[in-house]
Amino acid sequence: MEEHKIENIELKYLTVNDFEELKSATLESYSGVLDSYWKKHHIEQLTTIFPKGQVVIKIDGNIAGCALSLIVDYDKIDDHHTYADIIQGDSFKIHDAEGDVLYGIDVFIKPEYRGLRLGRRLYDYRKEVCEELNLKGIVFGGRMPNYHKHKTLTPKEYIEKVKRKEIHDPVLNFQISNDFHPVRVLKGYLEGDTASNEYAVLMEWDNIYYTKKTKKASSVKTVVRLGLIQWQMRTYNSLEELMQQVEYFVDSVAAYRSDFALFPEFFNAPLMAKYNHMYEPDAIRELAKYTQVIVEKMQQLSISYNINIITGSMPELSDGKLYNVGYLCRRDGSLERYEKIHVTPDEAKVWGMQRGHKLQTFETDAGKIGILICYDSEFPELSRLLSDEGMDILFVPFLTDTQNGYSRVRLCAQARAIENECYVAIAGSVGNLPNVNNMDIQYAQSAVFTPCDFSFPSNGIKAEATTNTEMILVADVDLSLLRELHSFGAVKNLKDRRKDVYNVIRVKE
């Protein structure tokens, strides 16, 4: 078939009126296989119980290919089923409109039309139906038509060689190139399929947009709005005065309907000014006495302004030891604590800050998030562990005094976004505190970073604040784009990791 002779290609629902032409096209496509076509009553039944699942491709009005499907309850299918189990004596009783998986029972392209990528159109249509009906995915038993040439190999060995391109199998190669992956080998799947030695491969395609059906009210979002506070260090005469500024910023980002408000590391450091006459380790321990009160007030703000607040970080005493910690104040009133795992040499030397041990992801109504405080973002193992738990957004509250210190945080944050296929939001403080030892100057440019792929900014920067200026930064991030990236990105940093060569594991406590 010469492409320039084609005047019209259309995808249409199959009807009973197509039967005679479909029969002829089927016999041509399955040459040599007796009784290989569907009978008229089969077509009547299929187009009645599931019309969307039965389609044909017509070229200049003639049938060039066909795809037939059912909906099944995947849990009711035996792991080692046969084709006969699916069509059930041609009764199709396994079809379940309330099922969760699309099962392909037939697909073909007439020989004269092969090479025009029409099969891809049929598979793409099935994927669209799967997404539209919110099904988990597509499955079918894939033939191995060249297996009879390699009978010395086990089916598993044959599949592995096909995947490595050592053996060409037109069916398996095509399915794999269309994002289907082998699940298991099915023995005795299709009686009479001597080319495949009656073996088949259960192939599966996962719908990344699938959402589990629930009767509960849900407000989980796909487009999430981030509000970053680039905080100005200034003198405050009291805790109340500092909290007025905190509320001002919470109010500001909440007014833009932000889902998160992110504060910087040690944003409450100005309260140390009244203790500047003390030995520095004693001064920061006085500051730690404010932490619990600040957290309680921010918890109330998260409820009253309907926003999830990430409190940056503050010093906290626990069993007489000093830690750098922060809290996630969810807008439903719940509270979670996180710790800085790696303290800087300066924090340890000047204040006697202890290293934390707590690392976890947090479920929120706007995605699963991780939080790493400043220096922790420079250790890729931490974010990799969070990524393994399904993190969508990594928040990094930071405090840096010089531009080179800021650059370390920024560049590492950008790397975390790429290698973990997630969004990263960083927020820091600007200005100076001449009356607080070891907190003299600050340098910051808060920003939101993305992976670098076609659906994202080419430079991986979603938004960034003006350098060294007090302000808020508001940016939207689309979590559904991450789902697409995981499966269809130009590169797949998460899927392509060589876990057979190396891995990142937690140390058991």
- Which pLDDT tens digit goes with each residue over 104-144? 999 999 998 888 889 999 999 999 999 999 999 999 999 89
Residue-by-residue DSSP string for 454-509? TTS-TTSEEEEPPTT--EEEEEEEEHHHHHHHHHH-SS-TTTT--TTT----PPP-
- pLDDT per position as a tens digit, 258-305: 999 999 999 999 999 999 899 999 999 999 999 999 999 999 999 999
**CA quadruple 401, 407, 412, 414: dihedral, nearest 10:** 120
CA distances from 453 to 16, 87, 209, 314 (A): 45, 42, 19, 36
Could you tell me the two tokens for 140? 């079918």
Is 374 designated active site?
Answer: yes
Q: For the ranges 208-222, 382-396, 417-431, which has the lowest average pLDDT? A: 208-222
Rounded to whole angstroms, how far apart are CA atoms 407 and 423? 18
For the chain, give the mean pLDDT. Answer: 92
Residues 481, 283: Cα–Cα separation, whole Å: 46
Range with the poorest average pLDDT among 25-39, 291-305, 441-455: 25-39
Q: What is the pLDDT at residue 217?
A: 54
Percent of the chain with pLDDT over 70: 97
Contact 261, 227 (CB under 8 A): yes
Order across the sheet with 55-59: list the strands. Answer: 9-13, 55-59, 62-72, 101-109, 137-143, 199-206, 181-187
Q: Give residue 1's pLDDT band: very low, low, confident or very high (50, 70, 90).
A: very low
Q: Among 309, 310, 342, which residue's Cα sits nearest to residue 324?
A: 342
Q: Is the pLDDT of residue 219 over 90?
A: no
Render 73-104 in DSSP notation, one character per residue. Answer: -GGGS-TT--HHHHHTTTT-TT--TT-SEEEE
pTM for the whole structure:
0.76
Nearest of 132, 139, 1 to residue 60 by alpha carbon:
1
Quick: pLDDT tens for 340-355: 999 999 999 999 999 9
- The per-residue pLDDT for 393 is 98
User: Tokens standing for 478?
Assistant: 């689309």
Cα 183 to Cα 168: distance, rounded to the nearest angstrom: 19
Amino acid present at 225: R
The answer to whether residue 2 scores a pLDDT higher than 70 is no
Catalytic residue among 110, 127, 340, 462: 340
- The one catalytic residue in 198, 204, 265, 339 is 265
DSSP for 348-413, written as a single string: IIII-PBP-----EEEEBTEEEEE--GGGGG-HHHHHHHHHTT-SEEEEE---SSHHHHHHHHHHH
Residue among 66, 130, 329, 374 flagged as catalytic:
374
| Eight-state DSSP code of residue 3 | G
Percent of the chain with pLDDT over 90: 76
Q: What is the pLDDT of residue 387?
A: 95
Asked if residues 266 and 401 have their Cβ atoms less than 8 Å apart, the reply is no
Pairwise CA distance, residues 142 & 169, whole Å = 11
Mean pLDDT of 400-405: 95
Q: What is the mean pLDDT of residues 52-72?
A: 94
CA distances from 115 to 143, 160, 170, 359 (A): 19, 25, 11, 52
**Residue 187 vs residue 209, higher pLDDT:** 187
Which amino acid type is present at position 331?
R
Burial of residue 7, with CB atoms counted within 10 A of its CB: 0-12 exposed, 13-18 middle, 19 or more buried:
exposed
329 in active site:
no
Q: What is the mean pLDDT of the segment spanning 212-235?
A: 81
| Whether the predicted pLDDT of 223 surpasses 90 | yes
**Integer Cα distance of 11 and 66 in angstroms:** 9
Across residues 222-243, what is the average pLDDT? Answer: 94
